[in-house]
Every structure is written in C-alpha cells, then in structure tokens.
C-alpha cells in the first residue's frame, strides 16, 4: 500500500506533489503533536516546493482522509563526499497540525489583549459544560472566530461539539494543547487538526475513540506481529521500615511487609525510610506509637499515624514487582493502520494465549523511496512512554500460558 505527499503554501493552497524522495518518516499521535521528516535530493524542482509557512499532507492509498498534515519548521542541508554527494540532500521537517493549540495560551479574559488582562473580574477563568463543548469553545477563543484578530488562524474550520460528559476546570495562561490533552485523556476523547484538500482548510475533529478490540487483533498466528517481548521483574523492595520522630530509644519504627511478593519470588529486600517530620514516638512501656509532642490533638495524632502507613505504602509501591511487554505489529492485507484502525482506537494483542486490549496511542511510519511502507510501528497502551503501566498480572498470565504450552510439548 503506497503513500504520497502533497504540498500546500502558507495560504493553505495546494502547490504540488512530491513523488521522489530518499526517505519519509512520520509519527501520528493521539491527542499530541505528531511529526514528519522528508529527506529529498537538494537542487531539484520538488525540493523547492515546500517553503516557510507551507507544509505537507501525507496520504495513504485507499484512505479518504490524510494520515497527517503539518507546517514545516526545519530545513537542514546535508552533504557528504561518500553518500550525499553532488548537490547534497535536504532534510525538511515539522510538526503536525495538532501543534496549533500548543502554540496558544488560555487567557483569563480571552476577549481582551494581554495589556488589558488586569481588567478581568477574576484572576482565572472557570470553564464548564460537556467536554466537547468546552474544547470547542476554548479552541474558538484561542484561534477561531471568537479569538482576538491577531490570534485568529485563517482557514480553520471548527464545527461545534456536544460529545463527552460534563466537566469543569479553571484556566490562567495554560497551554491550550496541554489542557485539551488532559481533558481528553480523562474522558476517553480525542481530537485532531487535519488538512482538508477539497476545501483547502484545516478541519478540527473532536471525536470519541472506537472500541475495535473484537475486530482488530494482533498476534503471531495472524501474521501481523513482527516481534514481541515480555518481561517480569522481581520487586525491588519487600520490607519497608519507617523511622519517625523521637530520639534514640524513643524513636518509633513501623514496618510493612509485602508477604505475597516474598512468597512468590523468594526474596526479602529491606528499605529504610527516614520520616523524622512525622511527630510520632514510641511508648517504651507498651511498644506502641504515642504523641511526640504533647500539644498534638487526637485528630493530629491519628493523621500522623496514617502518614506513617502511607510512607510505607509509597515505598512498597515504588519498588513493587513489575511486568511489561512490547509489541511490534506489521501491516498485512487483512489489517492495516489508517484503513482498519487509527490512533485512539482500542485493539487487542494476543500473546502466548493471553489477550490484552488497549488504546493505540502512537504510530511511527517509515516510507521508502518507492512510496511503500518500510516499517509501521504502533505503540499500544503506555508502551514506550516515560511512565509505562505495570502490566504484571497480564504478563504473569503470559508466563503461565507459556509454561503450560511447554509442558504439553
């Protein structure tokens, strides 16, 4: 299945098509800024099509809407005497149109310029309503028809939306894109800014992702998984000792043990947490906790004891046993990204007899010089993120299924 690249100018008018390149790489992300990068031979008519203010639209054969569109923000000349000889090569790249709300701040008083924000009745602004309506209003105030004249983005088509559940929030010079991302994440919604070739404008789409977990399945047996890796990690801490206030022999120590993990892994790993700020000491007559300060109220003492337990829980949670798995799908005739599923959709991965369903959050695509996909790599769930989910239970089931299979063999 092929890909093609069209070019628009700073007025969003189509100016041509690039059909000869060395490489094309782009990333489509859910509720975030995607990116694109085109490596093309310098000094050719096609290399001069993309100008400052303009950008690209990336199409996939058989799909009615572009996968990604966005303005250029980088030109880089590249020359070597070994590979990129002659006139050299040109890297041209940028972010997708989802970057537009990340370039805008939510003014406390959107109808007033910056110099008049002091006239606002409140230091921050309350927004409330259905999530889709709140998103529509905020985009419109920041860059649409309700925006100040110098903040309006020409060629933006923003239809009203009443999707989602009721919500409220407060705004004070927040980055609009970050707020949209947060609102959508909490309410299972999505949005995208995408070029409309028929009307030569940028459409804003607010949508609710689809649950395709029954129809889009990825597994080695179906031939649409190139590789998968699952990992189980033993706990880093199984016994936490919290030391509170009190001096020398009057200091109170509290221990909490993860007995289940110790039994499973056969490990005992202790960690000390110094919490001298918690005003609890030991009663040497009974060994029980007592007030470190006689002026403490009963309520304050009970809160201090809860803080001790929370400190232990936090340390155990940080060092808890963990599991994760990475998958590397491939496009097949039966299941293709863009045509059969998109970012935001929920799909199912079947590994070693265990099913796991989650959201497609990002897809990285590399296209060769013939316009054919060299690599399509979706990231499902929190795979590849800085804070991956702990999928210990799921991966543990994968291990059990694998052992059963090995036993039968």
Query: For residue range 127-163, what is the model confidence (pLDDT) as tens digits?
Result: 999 999 999 999 999 999 999 999 999 999 999 999 9
d(C-alpha 390, C-alpha 103), whole Å: 33
**Is the distance from CB of 165 to CB of 184 less than 8 angstroms?**
no
Residues 6+ apart with CB under 8 A from 140: 146, 147, 158
Calculate mean pLDDT across residues 361-373: 82
> Which run of H or of E encompasses 5?
strand 3-8
Residues 6+ apart with CB under 8 A from 407: none
Residue 409 has pLDDT above 60, yes or no: no
CA-nearest of 327, 333, 366, 370 to 347 is 327
d(C-alpha 70, C-alpha 96), whole Å: 4
* CB neighbours of residue 26 within 10 Å: 24
d(C-alpha 50, C-alpha 5), whole Å: 11
DSSP 160: -
Instruction: Give percent of the chain above pLDDT 70.
Output: 91
d(C-alpha 315, C-alpha 168), whole Å: 33
> Which run of H or of E encompasses 185?
helix 176-187
Residue 204 has pLDDT above 70, yes or no: yes
Q: What is the phi/psi pair of residue 51, to 5°? A: -120, 165
DSSP for 99-110, please give it. Answer: GGGGG-EE-SST
List C-alpha distances in Å: 324 to 49, 266, 329: 44, 21, 16
pLDDT digits (tens, 9 = 90+) for 33-59: 999 999 998 888 888 899 999 999 999
d(C-alpha 317, C-alpha 394), whole Å: 18
Using a cut of 0.85, tell me whether the model's pTM lies above it: no
Token pair for residue 270? 């202790």
pLDDT at 88: 81
**Is the distance from CB of 194 to CB of 66 less than 8 angstroms?**
yes
**Is the distance from CB of 55 to CB of 36 less than 8 angstroms?**
no
Token pair for residue 342? 């998109």
Residue 175 has pLDDT above 80, yes or no: yes
d(C-alpha 70, C-alpha 65), whole Å: 14
Calculate the average pLDDT of the chain.
88
Calculate mean pLDDT across residues 302-330: 87
Q: Quick one: pLDDT band at residue 386, thresholds 50, 70, 90?
A: very low
| Edge-to-edge strand list for the sheet holding 14-18 | 14-18, 3-8, 55-60, 68-71
d(C-alpha 254, C-alpha 261), whole Å: 19
What is residue 177's three-state secondary structure? helix
**Is the distance from CB of 135 to CB of 176 less than 8 angstroms?**
no
List of E strands, 96-247: 105-106, 125-130, 156-157, 166-171, 174-175, 190-196, 201-207, 217-218, 225-233, 239-243
């Amino acid at each position: 299945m092929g890909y093609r690249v069209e070019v628009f100018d700073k007025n969003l008018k189509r100016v041509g098509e690039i059909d000869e390149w060395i490489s094309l790489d782009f990333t489509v992300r859910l509720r975030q800024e995607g990116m694109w990068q085109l490596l093309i031979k310098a000094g050719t008519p096609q290399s001069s099509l993309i100008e400052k203010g303009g950008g690209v639209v990336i199409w996939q054969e058989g799909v009615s809407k572009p996968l990604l569109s966005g303005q250029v923000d980088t030109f880089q000349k590249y020359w070597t005497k070994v590979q990129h000889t002659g006139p050299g090569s040109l890297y041209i790249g940028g972010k997708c149109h989802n970057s537009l709300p990340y370039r805008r701040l939510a003014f406390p008083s959107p109808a007033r310029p910056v110099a008049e924000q002091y006239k606002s009745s409140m230091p921050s602004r309350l927004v409330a309503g259905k999530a889709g309506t709140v998103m529509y209003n905020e985009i419109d105030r920041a860059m649409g028809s309700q925006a100040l004249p110098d903040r309006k983005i020409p060629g933006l088509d923003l239809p009203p939306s009443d999707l989602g559940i009721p919500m409220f929030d407060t705004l004070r010079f927040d980055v609009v894109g970050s707020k949209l991302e947060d609102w959508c994440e909490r309410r299972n919604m999505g949005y995208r800014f995408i070029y409309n070739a028929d009307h030569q404008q940028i459409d804003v789409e607010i949508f609710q992702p689809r649950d395709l977990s029954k129809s889009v399945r990825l597994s080695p047996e179906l031939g649409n998984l190139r590789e998968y890796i699952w990992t189980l990690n033993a706990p880093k801490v199984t016994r936490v000792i919290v030391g509170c206030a009190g001096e020398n022999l009057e200091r109170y120590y509290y221990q909490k043990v993860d007995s289940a993990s110790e039994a499973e892994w056969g490990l005992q790993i202790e960690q000390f947490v110094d919490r001298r700020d918690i005003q609890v000491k030991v009663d040497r007559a009974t060994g029980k906790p007592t007030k470190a300060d006689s002026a403490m109220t009963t309520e304050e003492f009970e809160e201090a004891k809860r803080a001790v337990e929370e400190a232990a829980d936090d340390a155990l949670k940080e060092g808890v046993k963990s599991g994760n798995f990475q998958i590397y799908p491939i496009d097949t005739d039966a299941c293709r990204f863009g045509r059969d599923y998109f970012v935001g959709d929920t799909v199912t991965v079947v590994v070693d007899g265990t099913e796991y369903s989650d959201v497609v959050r990002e897809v990285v695509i590399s296209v060769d010089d013939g316009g054919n996909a060299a690599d399509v790599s979706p990231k499902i769930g929190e795979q590849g993120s800085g804070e991956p989910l702990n999928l210990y239970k799921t991966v543990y089931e994968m291990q059990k299924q694998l052992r059963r299979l090995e036993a039968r063999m």
